[in-house]
């Protein structure tokens, strides 16, 4: 039997607000990783992406895991787990050190990274990632790996991602209750990026927006690496559904059905004569609704979402730096017309983010709602050679020879 420990299988666990998803990838002899299985189960016990009931969440995870194992034909032992939500903080930091022997050594790199991550973290938060953005040697910036170069002063810029310690512990508890080892915790939109973005997007500048059921998670990438992260609780598929339920005076269940089956975010793509039946929440008879009116209401929700995103980009200074535009992913990006509306709104190229980076099962790699799950597998694949792409930062520590992630994991495990 194959299992994760022999490193041929890699698994990602995405505990979303609407569904728990397990994606399994297999590494071939040539190093290629391909998606071979997935399992999903409706999520219970989460609110806006955060575990609020460990037992029920563990139950959903168990079912999704069993489905994935059945399909993979092998038991899973460890998983990379996605984490997101409004408790996530992303900060840019930098540090600098003097180079004593003019040539930069591995120890200098470690020292400058230690200096860069020496920032005050609130006691209720813990570090998830310290992602290297660039090194600057004297006046030369944009350096990926300065070892062997000569200079007198080395600077490092990093993006530090922290999460609420309680949210991390709940997620770990749920996973471990299902007999699975947490091999790594990964910011969800960072994971999604591994599945849907190209090197060109990362270099030219791109805003990735994962619109889930409970929140929307944003990440800006430029110069090959992550620059800015943000989570919005008021941007999500559930926000649209709840708004429609109130507006139509029907149940959330019926509103969700209507939204998915008949919704659109652009009025002009809907034939004017089409109507849909709206079941009432109670005793009242069902009513008729023009699909164009439904689309107009959904458009308002998406415009509001895009307005919040535009404000965030403007305030963080990244609005001018997005040469590759926007990539929308997550289930909320499947709304008909949402991509076209975003193009109109942002005056920039916008595309739907399909998780095609690894290839494999077509029902998985063609579904934007699976971007995080696939991305977790792609991220896992990065933790052991061979590396797929260059942009995930320098993985090898020349000093220790250990992958950066395992050093970081060791570091933040010490802080639990």
Ligand X SMILES: Nc1ncnc2c1ncn2[C@@H]1O[C@H](COP(=O)(O)OP(=O)(O)OP(=O)(O)O)[C@@H](O)[C@H]1O
Which residue is it, tokens 């933040």?
412
Specify the stretch interacting with ligand X by CB under 6 A; choose among 143-151, 208-216, 350-358, 378-386.
208-216
- Using CA atoms, how far apart are residues 83 and 15, in angstroms rounded to an integer? 8
Smallest separation (angstroms) from ligand X to the CB of 118: 32
One of 237, 325, 337, 375 touching ligand X (CB under 6 A): 237
Q: 335 contacts which partner out of Mg ion, ligand X, none, CB within 5 to 8 A by kind?
A: ligand X
One of 369, 378, 381, 393 touching ligand X (CB under 6 A): 369
Specify the stretch interacting with ligand X by CB under 6 A; choose among 53-61, 276-284, 332-340, 386-394.
332-340
Smallest separation (angstroms) from ligand X to the CB of 331: 2
Q: Considering the complex, state which of residue 18 and residue 38 has its C-beta at the smaller distance from ligand X.
A: 18
Q: Beta strand 216-222 with 225-232: parallel, antiparallel or unpaired?
A: antiparallel
- Using CA atoms, how far apart are residues 282 and 257, in angstroms rounded to an integer? 17
Smallest separation (angstroms) from ligand X to the CB of 290: 19
Token pair belonging to 76: 């899973």
Q: Considering the complex, state which of residue 19 and residue 291 has its C-beta at the smaller distance from Mg ion.
A: 19
Q: Considering the complex, state which of residue 183 and residue 256 has its C-beta at the smaller distance from ligand X.
A: 256
- How far from each other are the two terminal CA atoms of the chain, in whole angstroms? 34
Q: Residue 11: enclosing H or E segment and its boundaries?
A: strand 9-15
One of 334, 353, 361, 365 touching ligand X (CB under 6 A): 334
Between residue 8 and residue 27, which ones bind ligand X under the rule CB under 6 A? Answer: 16-19
Q: Considering the complex, state which of residue 133 and residue 215 has its C-beta at the smaller distance from ligand X.
A: 215
DSSP state of 141: E
The footprint of Mg ion (CB under 5 A) covers 16, 212
Q: 260 contacts which partner out of ligand X, Mg ion, none, CB within 5 to 8 A by kind?
A: ligand X
- Using CA atoms, how far apart are residues 393 and 302, in angstroms rounded to an integer? 34
Ranked by CB distance to ligand X, the top (closest) residue is 237
- Using CA atoms, how far apart are residues 406 and 383, in angstroms rounded to an integer? 8
Residue 45 interacting with ligand X (CB under 6 A): no
Q: List the Cα angle 263/266/268 in 5-degree steps.
A: 110
Residue 87 interacting with ligand X (CB under 6 A): no
Q: Beta strand 78-83 with 181-187: parallel, antiparallel or unpaired?
A: parallel
Which of 339, 264, 268, 262 is CA-nearest to residue 306?
339
Q: Considering the complex, state which of residue 96 and residue 234 has its C-beta at the smaller distance from Mg ion.
A: 234
Q: Considering the complex, state which of residue 298 and residue 376 has its C-beta at the smaller distance from Mg ion.
A: 376
Residue 331 interacting with ligand X (CB under 6 A): yes
Q: Considering the complex, state which of residue 325 and residue 330 has its C-beta at the smaller distance from ligand X.
A: 330
Residue 106 interacting with ligand X (CB under 6 A): no
From residue 99, alpha-carbon distances to 68, 153, 155, 314 in Å are 50, 6, 10, 37
Burial of 392 (0-12, 13-18, 19+ CB in 10 A): buried
Omega before 386 within 30 of 0, i.e. cis: yes
One of 134, 172, 201, 256 touching ligand X (CB under 6 A): 256
Q: Which residues bind ligand X (CB under 6 A)?
A: 16-19, 49, 212-215, 236-238, 241, 256, 259-260, 263, 330-332, 334-335, 369
């Amino acid at each position: 039997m194959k299992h994760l420990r022999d490193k041929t299988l890699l698994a990602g666990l995405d505990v979303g607000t609407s569904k728990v998803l397990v994606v399994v990838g297999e590494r071939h002899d040539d190093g290629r990783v391909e998606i071979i299985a997935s399992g999903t189960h409706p999520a219970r016990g989460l609110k806006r992406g955060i575990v609020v009931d460990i037992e029920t969440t563990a139950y959903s995870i168990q079912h999704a895991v069993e489905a994935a194992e059945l399909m993979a034909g092998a038991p899973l032992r460890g998983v990379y787990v996605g984490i997101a939500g409004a408790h996530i903080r992303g900060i840019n930091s930098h540090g600098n050190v003097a180079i004593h022997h003019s040539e930069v050594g591995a120890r200098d790199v470690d020292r400058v990274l230690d200096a860069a991550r020496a920032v005050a973290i609130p006691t209720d938060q813990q570090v998830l990632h310290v992602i290297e953005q660039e090194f600057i040697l004297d006046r030369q910036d944009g350096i990926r790996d300065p070892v062997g170069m000569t200079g007198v002063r080395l600077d490092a810029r990093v993006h530090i991602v922290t999460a609420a310690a309680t949210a991390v512990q709940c997620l770990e508890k749920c996973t471990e209750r299902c007999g699975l080892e947490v091999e790594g915790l990964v910011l969800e939109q960072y994971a999604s990026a591994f599945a849907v973005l190209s090197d060109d997007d990362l270099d030219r500048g791109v805003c990735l927006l994962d619109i889930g059921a409970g929140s929307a998670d944003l990440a800006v990438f430029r110069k090959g690496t992550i620059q800015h992260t943000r989570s919005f609780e008021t941007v999500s598929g559930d926000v649209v559904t709840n708004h429609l339920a109130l507006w139509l005076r029907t149940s959330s269940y019926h509103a969700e059905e209507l939204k998915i089956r008949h919704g659109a975010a652009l009025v002009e793509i809907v034939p004017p004569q089409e109507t849909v039946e709206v079941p009432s929440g109670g005793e009242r008879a069902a009513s008729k609704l023009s699909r164009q009116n439904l689309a107009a209401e959904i458009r308002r929700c998406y415009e509001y979402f895009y307005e919040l995103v535009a404000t965030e980009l403007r305030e963080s200074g990244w609005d001018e730096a997005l040469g590759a535009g926007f990539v929308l992913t997550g289930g909320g990006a499947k709304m008909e017309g949402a991509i076209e509306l975003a193009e109109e709104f942002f005056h920039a190229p916008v595309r739907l983010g399909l998780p095609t980076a690894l290839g494999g099962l077509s029902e998985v790699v063609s579904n934007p709602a699976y971007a995080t799950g696939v991305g977790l597998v792609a991220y896992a694949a990065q933790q052991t050679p061979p590396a797929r792409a260059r942009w995930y930062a320098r993985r090898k520590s020349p000093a220790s020879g250990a992958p950066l992630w395992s050093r970081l994991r060791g570091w933040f495990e010490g802080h639990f």
